[in-house]
Structure 1
Amino acid sequence: MSKELPEFLSQVDAADYLRERGVSVEPQTLARWRCTGRYRLRYLKIGNLVRYRRFGLDALVEEHMIAPGGGDGD
């Protein structure tokens, strides 16, 4: 995506945003995570509208980075 992204991304745009960062996630996977609470990914929900913030997606990626040597960076 070469254009500037809005602060809030749709489920499809959020999946594309993660894919561009090397995390292959389908939009349906984001919906599953949201419904099951598997990952603590914050989102905005108003009626049927669901949006994700870019910094929240970036935080999800950072939380799951593994430090060299197999540690989790803690």
Structure 2
Amino acid sequence: MQGERLHHKEAAEYIGVTENTLNVWRCEKRYPIPYIKVGSKVFYWKRDLDAFLESRTVRDGV
């Protein structure tokens, strides 16, 4: 297994946004968060969400 896969609802909760916000980001390609689409279902790898959060981390004074 490559890692933990999260359904879009779980992914939204994990990064602290609403499902709608995550859907808008995906549809408008606002942020380059990789996702998996199987039929009408959308999933995210937890490692990709962690990388996204790390990329959005602000470190003052560095």
Number of residue equivalences: 60
* Aligned equivalent of 1:30: 22
| Structure 1: segments with no counterpart, 5+ residues | 1-5, 19-23
Kindly indicate whether structure 1 or structure 2 has the higher relative contact order, using CA contacts under 8 Å at least 6 residues apart.
2
Pairwise CA RMSD of aligned residues?
1.5
Q: Identity, % of aligned pairs?
A: 38
Residue deviations 1:44-68, cap 9 Å, x none? 0021011001001101100011121
Q: Which runs of 5+ in 2 are unaligned?
A: none
Q: Which has the larger radius of gyration?
A: 1
The structure in which a higher percent of residues are strand is: 2
1:17 aligns with 2:9: no
Amino acid at match of 1:16: E
Normalising by structure 2, we get a TM-score of: 0.86
* TM-score of the aligned structures, taking structure 1 as reference length: 0.73
